[in-house]
Structure 1
Amino acid sequence: MDNKLTENSILEQENKLHSAIKNGNITALDQLLHDDLLFILPSGETITKEMDLNTYRNGALKVDELLPDIEKLNIIDDMAVITLSIKLSGKFNDVPFEASYRYIRVWKKFGDGIKVIGGSGIAIR
């Protein structure tokens, strides 16, 4: 098996992540997010993997629509940096929302797969 990351392998992981987010699939999210993940929310709050998973476990976030648009993808050795805009709608703490966000995510290849190790999101438009 080739150990190099490819554009297709990262896009496949992104698609899995989008599906897991939309479906609230905690098992898939647990596999896709690195245990030491750090992510900055649009509010400026920094969260960990466990904090993110708890958002789905307690039902606080329910995503109805997730429409991604990949902007840029750079592969750097065993890591990849991707930027994308996403139109999201759903409910957070039972309050409906609809907004567009720009995300940057950092993926890294490990022995047990490719995982998100960091990222950030901001509201756009």
Structure 2
Amino acid sequence: MKTEDIVNAEIELLTAIKKADVSALENMLHDDLLFNLPDGQTITKEFDLNVYRSGKMKIDTLEASDQIISIIDGIAVVAVTVLLKGNYDHNPLDGVFKYIRVWKQFSESLKVIAGSCVELK
């Protein structure tokens, strides 16, 4: 696993999120994913995919910056700042968020196994 692989995986992931591409997300998220939302709720892969399937999440703007990648024994940890604009369940979504994502290489591909997100003030 190289830094370049993670950079490319992050670009693919953010593109899939912006396009609400459920099949791409299904391939990139591990079945046992746990992800903490800014409100403290922990969600699963299925919960996340259902948000996109239902059309509740609409992303108009998604811009990543300040990406830091650390690779430790075959696990990649990514910290990235993301400007998000759109709406979730008919509520406006407009803010800057700090994500941390954990990627692991499996035989078939890289997958996100864990993550967390906080809103920056």
Quick one: which of 62, 69, 86 aligns to 2:65? Answer: 69
Quick one: which of 80, 83, 98 aligns to 1:102? Answer: 98
> Contact 1:70 / 1:82 at 8 angstroms: preserved in 2?
no
The equivalent residue for 1:20 is: 16
Quick one: which of 117, 120, 125 aligns to 2:113? Answer: 117
Q: Where do 4+ consecutive residues of structure 1 move more than 6 Å?
A: none
State the 1:93 CA deviation.
Answer: 0.8
The equivalent residue for 1:51 is: 47
Moved more, 92-101 or 22-31: 92-101
**What SS class does the counterpart of residue 55 from structure 2 fall into?**
coil
State the 1:94 CA deviation.
Answer: 1.5
Overall identity of the aligned pairs, in %:
43
Moved more, 69-78 or 105-114: 69-78
**Count of residues paired in the alignment:** 121
Aligned equivalents of 2:114, 2:18: Cα separation in 1: 20
Aligned equivalents of 2:15, 2:78: Cα separation in 1: 17
The equivalent residue for 1:87 is: 83
Question: Gapped runs of 5+ residues in structure 2?
Answer: none
Give the structure-2-normalised TM-score.
0.97
**What SS class does the counterpart of residue 42 from structure 1 fall into?**
coil
State the 1:77 CA deviation.
Answer: 2.1
Aligned equivalents of 1:60, 1:119: Cα separation in 2: 21
Give the structure-1-normalised TM-score.
0.94
Question: Gapped runs of 5+ residues in structure 1?
Answer: none
Aligned equivalents of 1:117, 1:46: Cα separation in 2: 13
